[in-house]
C-alpha cells in the first residue's frame, strides 16, 4: 500500500510540490491553530459563567481535533516524505527550519494533551467531545485528592501556557520565513505548499496548446 502511495507522490515531489493530502493537512491545521490561539485569547477575557464554559468546551474540542490531525499528518509524512526544495540546502538555515518543524509536531501533541488535562481537572466533571459528538473520557483527576488534583492542574497549566507562548512566536516566524523565501530569496519553498491551479490553456491529455501563428501574406508573383 505504501509503495503505490509513494509512486503517486513522486509525481508531485519530482516537481518540488507537496501532495494534495500534504497541502490539505498543512492549511487545515494552520487555520485550526490560528483559531485556537484566538479562541484562547478570547475565552480568558470572559467572566465566569455559561459563556466561558462554552468557550472552553469549543477550545478543548478543537484541541482534540488538532491532536488527531497532527497524528495523521505525522503518519502521512513518515509514509510519504515531502519534496526536496531550496530550504533543504545544506547550512544553518536548513537545520533551523527542520528544528522548527520538529517543535511544531511536538506542540501538536503537548498542547492538546495539556489542555485535555486542564479540562479533566474542572470541578464538577464536564463531558468532553471530539468533533462535537464523539464522547472522550476525562483523565482520572477526579479520583485524586483535592491537593493532588490542584497540583496536577497547576503543572498542566504551566505546560499549556508555555506551549502557547512558543506557538504564538513560531506561527508568525514561520509565515515570515515563507514570505522571505518567496519574495526575497525567489526560491520554491512556498510554491511547493500552495495548491496547484489547473492550467486552463492546456489541452486535456496533451501538451500545452499553442495557437497557430498568423499566416504571412505572400508577395504577388512578378509578371
CA distance to 53, 115, 130, 150, per residue, from 56 (Å): 5, 10, 13, 18
How far apart, in whole angstroms, are the C-alpha atoms of residue 109 and residue 113? 6
User: For 196-216, what is the mean pLDDT?
Assistant: 46
Angle at 165 between CA 53 and CA 150, to 5 degrees: 50
Work out the number of other CB atoms within 10 angstroms of the CB of residue 149.
Answer: 17
Total residues found in the chain within this entry: 223
At 185 the pLDDT is 67
Collapse the DSSP code of 118 into the 3-class scheme (helix H, G, I; strand E, B; otherwise coil) and give the result. helix
How far apart, in whole angstroms, are the C-alpha atoms of residue 93 and residue 209? 40
E-assigned strand segments in the chain: 128-130, 134-136
* pLDDT tens for each residue of 145-190: 878 888 888 999 999 999 999 999 999 988 888 887 767 867 666 6
User: What are the structural domain ranges in the chain?
Assistant: 2-84+115-193
> Higher model confidence: residue 217 or residue 9?
9
| Average pLDDT of every residue of the chain | 81
Name the DSSP class of 218.
P
Work out the number of other CB atoms within 10 angstroms of the CB of residue 100.
Answer: 13
Spatial CA neighbour of 116 closest among 104, 106, 126: 126
103 Cβ contact partners less than 8 Å away, ≥ 6 residues apart: 166, 170
Residue 135 phi, psi dihedral angles, 5° rounding: -65, 135
How far apart, in whole angstroms, are the C-alpha atoms of residue 141 and residue 153? 9
Q: Is 17's pLDDT higher than 80?
A: yes
Structure confidence at residue 204 as a pLDDT band (50, 70, 90) = very low
* pLDDT tens for each residue of 105-145: 999 999 999 999 888 887 777 788 887 788 888 888 877 88
What does the block give as the cell for 127? 463531558
Cell 526544495, residue? Answer: 85
At 208 the pLDDT is 41
How far apart, in whole angstroms, are the C-alpha atoms of residue 101 and residue 189? 14
Amino acid at each position: 500500500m505504501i509503495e503505490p502511495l509513494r509512486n503517486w507522490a513522486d509525481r508531485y515531489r519530482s516537481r518540488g510540490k507537496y501532495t494534495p493530502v500534504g497541502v490539505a493537512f498543512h492549511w487545515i491545521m494552520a487555520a485550526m491553530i490560528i483559531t485556537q490561539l484566538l479562541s484562547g485569547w478570547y475565552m480568558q477575557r470572559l467572566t465566569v459563567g455559561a459563556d466561558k464554559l462554552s468557550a472552553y468546551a469549543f477550545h478543548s474540542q478543537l484541541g482534540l481535533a488538532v491532536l488527531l490531525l497532527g497524528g495523521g499528518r505525522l503518519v502521512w509524512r513518515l509514509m510519504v516524505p515531502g519534496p526536496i526544495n531550496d530550504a533543504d540546502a545544506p547550512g544553518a538555515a536548513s537545520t533551523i527550519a527542520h528544528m522548527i518543524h520538529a517543535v511544531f509536531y511536538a506542540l501538536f501533541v503537548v498542547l492538546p494533551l495539556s489542555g485535555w488535562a486542564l479540562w479533566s481537572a474542572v470541578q464538577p466533571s464536564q463531558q468532553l467531545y471530539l468533533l462535537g459528538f464523539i464522547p472522550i473520557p476525562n483523565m482520572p483527576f477526579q479520583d485524586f485528592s483535592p491537593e493532588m488534583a490542584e497540583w496536577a492542574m497547576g503543572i498542566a497549566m504551566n505546560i499549556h501556557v508555555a506551549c502557547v507562548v512558543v506557538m504564538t512566536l513560531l506561527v508568525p516566524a514561520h509565515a515570515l520565513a515563507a514570505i522571505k523565501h518567496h519574495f526575497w530569496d525567489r526560491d520554491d519553498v512556498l510554491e511547493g505548499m500552495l495548491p496547484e491551479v489547473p492550467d486552463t490553456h492546456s489541452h486535456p491529455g496533451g501538451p500545452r496548446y499553442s495557437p497557430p501563428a498568423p499566416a504571412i501574406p505572400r508577395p504577388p508573383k512578378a509578371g
